Amino acid sequence: MSSASWSRPHRPHRPVRVGLVVAGAALGMCCVGVAGLGAWNVQAVRQADAPVRQTAEAFLTEVAAGDADRAYRRLCAPARTRWSPVGFAAWVRTPPVVTGHQVTDVSVSTRDGQPTGTVTVRLIRDGGRTEQRDLRVVREDDDWRVCGDPF
């Protein structure tokens, strides 16, 4: 027997394969990051659905009850600059007044990183007439507020 030592055969370097593996791993990490960010955004929007609905419900309940002062406090700052408390109260009490409501849809989206809700409601007015309106609800000072002309 010979005393020559055995060695592994020389393996050629495969830079293309290594590059593809590294690129694939990087792409996979990016996809995971994008999916995580997307899931976080969807979760944030879905969690906002209930407070948007509650804000619109409370506002319209107060309007229907004739409590214009409390309803006024639920308006966003731009709406409060367009309406004085006295003017808003007069508008709420102008016939045909709102006597009830039914929320038919709630949607929340983000625009420029700010969540905004749209609540579609069927307003019931004295005399039984109904009409459909969209209430815009915005996030302001860690609270949801009705913005725009509600009816």
> Per-domain residue ranges for the chain?
50-147
* pTM score, whole prediction: 0.69
Q: Regarding the domain with residue range 50-147, which homologous superfamily does it belong to in the CATH classification? A: NTF2-like; domain 1 (3.10.450.100)
Other C-beta atoms within 10 Å of 48: how many? 20
Q: What is the pLDDT along the chain (151 residues), one digit of tens a residue?
A: 555 676 766 666 666 666 666 767 667 676 566 555 555 555 554 556 999 999 999 999 999 999 999 999 999 999 999 999 999 999 999 999 999 999 999 999 988 888 899 999 999 999 999 999 999 999 998 999 999 776 6
| Per-residue confidence (pLDDT) for residue 33, from 0 to 100 | 62
Sheet bearing 98-111, strands edge to edge: 98-111, 114-125, 130-140, 143-147
